[in-house]
Amino acid sequence: MGTMPVVFINGYDVVHEVLHVRGAEFAQRPQTFIADRLADHKGLLNTSGHVWTEQKQNIVKTLRKLTAAGGLLERYMETALNNLADNFNCLIQKGEGGQVDVAPVLKRSVCSISFAMAYGRQLDLNSDLLLSYTEMIEQFLGCLNMAVMTTFIPYIHLLPKDPVGYRKCKKLSLTIERDFVTPELERLAKVQSNKMYAKDQTPQASNNNSSSNGSPSTLCFAGAYIEEMNDKRRKDISTILSDEHLPKTISEIMLGSFDTITPTLEWFLIYMTHHQDVQKRCRQEIHKFLANDSLDASGISQLAYTRATIMEVQRHANIVPMPPCHTSDKDTHINGYFIPKNTAIMTNMDSLMMGPEVGDDPTEFRPERFLTEDGRPFYPKWFLPYSTGKRMCPGVSIAKKELLGLAVGLLSKFHFSAPVVEGKEVLPSLVGVMGLTKAPLPFKLCVQSV
C-alpha cells in the first residue's frame, strides 16, 4: 500500500494466531494516507495505542449496557419495522409490489435504528432528517470506495479535478459532522447539563447514582460517552475521552453499523428469493415460536434455523471479505516468515468462509451447516464475520440482535420472490460489488403480504 509492504494471511490457523493469540501484538492499524487524513488520528477505527485502548473499552462497555437496557434495541427495531411495513404495504396497495426496490427502505430502517442507538431519539423513516442523513452516508461511502486509491498512490490527491474524489470525500465527512453529528451532540450536552443542574439542586438526588440507569441521556451511545467523560473530569481521572474524539467515534458507529447491517439484510432477502424452501422453513419457525410475531427475547432465542440461515448468508455472501488491516510496531515472524515492523497485515476472510474447514461443498447455500444434528445452533471456530481478538467488532451483540430482529420482522410480514418481467422470473444477481464491504448489485423483488 503506497510504500508500505502488505502481507495477506490465509486460513484459519494463521488468522487465529495473528488476530487472536497474538492479538495484542497486532492490535495496531497501519498509518495510511486516507485514514490519517479522514480520521485525523481521532475516533476508534483508525487509531492505535492508548487513544484506541480507552475508547475501545468505553465503546464495548457502553454497547453492552445499551443492548442489555430493557428491550431498548427491540423497541427501536419494532418502530422501524412498523414504519418499513407501512412503506411496503403502501406500494403493494398501489399495485407496485411486483417490482420493489427494497434497498432504500431497508437502508433508512437500519439508519433509524443506528441513529436512535447513537443519539437516543428515533426518527420516522420518511422524515427529512433521516432521508438526508442516509443519503449523505451513502454518498460518503460511495466516494470513499474510490478515494481509498490514495492509500496506494497518495499523490493522486494533488491532481487537478479530484480524479478519485478524495477532496469530495473529505468535504462530505466534514459536512456529516457539522450538519448531523454536532447538532445531536449539542442537544445531548444540553440534556446532560440540565440533569447536572437538577442534581445539584436536589439534595436527595446527589446521593443516588442517577447517572447509571434510566435517564434519557445514558440510553444512547453519545449520552453515555458524554456522561463517562464528564464523570472522569469531575473526579480528576486522566482520560482520552474528549469532545474532539466523540464526533468521529459516533460517525464510525453510524457508518460501521450502516455499511454492514444493510448489505447483510439485502443479501438475506436475495438468498431468500433464490431459496424459497429456506424462506418457507424460516417463516414456519417464526410463526411457531413468536406469539403475534413480536420480538420477545424468549421466542427469538428458539429460532435456531433462522439464525443458522443468517449465518449462512454471512458466510456465503462474506460481506467483509477484507477487514481493515492490522499491524505491529516490532519486527516479527508469522508462520516462519519474517515480517518487518509496520507491515500491513490483511486478512483474507474468503479463506475461512469458503475454506476447507467449512466441510462439504462450501459453494452450496446450506443453513444446516450451522446446526447440530439435533437442531441446536452450532458456531464453528472458523466463522469469524466480526473478526476476533483485540480489534474484534465491538458492535457484535447489537449486530446479531438487529439482523435477527429485522430478518424475523421482514419474513413474518412479507413473502419475497423474483419479479416477473415479460413472463420470465428475474432472480437478483448473487455477484457483489466491493466497497468497504461487499454489497449486492441494484435489485428488485416481488413483495407480497403474508
Binding residues vs ligand HEM (CB under 6 A): 19, 44-45, 56, 63, 252-253, 256-257, 260-261, 264, 319-320, 323-324, 385-387, 391-395, 398-399
Cα 241 from Cα 53, distance rounded (Å)? 11
* Cell triple for 430: 448473487
Smallest gap, in angstroms, from Cβ of residue 5 to ligand HEM? 19
Minimal distance in Å, beta carbon 420 to ligand HEM? Answer: 31
Select 98 or 380, whichever has its Cβ closest to ligand HEM.
380
The least CB distance from residue 185 to ligand HEM, in Å, is: 17
Q: Under a CB-based contact definition with an 8 Å cutoff, are residues 334 and 17 in contact? A: yes
CA 358 to chain centre: 24
Which H or E run includes 433?
A: strand 432-434
In the bound state with ligand HEM, the residue whose beta carbon lies nearer, of 59 and 164, is: 59
Closer residue to ligand HEM (CB): 165 or 389: 389
The residue at minimum Cβ distance from ligand HEM is: 395
The nearest distance, CB 78 to ligand HEM, in angstroms, is: 18
- Which of the 8 DSSP states describes residue 16? I
The nearest distance, CB 386 to ligand HEM, in angstroms, is 5
Write the single-letter amino acid at 167: R
Residue (of 1, 5, 2) closest to 331 by Cα position: 5
Q: How far apart are CA 233 and CA 227, in angstroms?
A: 10
**Of residues 165 and 263, the one with the C-beta less far from ligand HEM:** 263
What is the closest distance, in whole angstroms, from the C-beta atom of residue 104 to ligand HEM in the complex? Answer: 19
Question: Chain-centre distance of CA 220, in angstroms?
Answer: 16
Nearest Cα to 409, choosing from 251, 254, 294? 294
Longest dimension (CA), the chain: 74
Strands annotated E in 200-343: 332-334, 337-339
393 is in an annotated binding site: yes
Strand partners, 421: 424
Nearer to ligand HEM by Cβ, of 48 and 89: the residue is 48
78 CB-near residues (< 8 Å, 6+ apart): 294, 295, 409
Q: Containing H/E element for 414?
A: strand 414-417
Q: How far is CA 46 from CA 22, 86, 376, in A?
A: 19, 39, 38
Least distance from ligand HEM to the Cβ atom of residue 255, Å = 8
Among the listed residues 449, 448, 445, the one whose alpha carbon sits nearest the alpha carbon of residue 103: 445
Rank residues 412 and 437 by Cβ distance to ligand HEM and give the closer one.
437
Nearer to ligand HEM, 54 or 162 (CB): 54
Looking at beta carbons only, is 105 or 253 nearer to ligand HEM?
Answer: 253
CB of 57 to ligand HEM, least distance (A): 10
Query: Residue 45 carries which side chain, given as an amino acid letter?
Result: L
Q: What is the dihedral of CA 389, 395, 400, 403, to 10 degrees?
A: -140
Q: Which residues contact 249 (CB under 8 A, 6 or more apart)?
A: 42, 43, 44, 55, 59, 225
Annotated binding site: 393
Annotated binding site for heme: 393
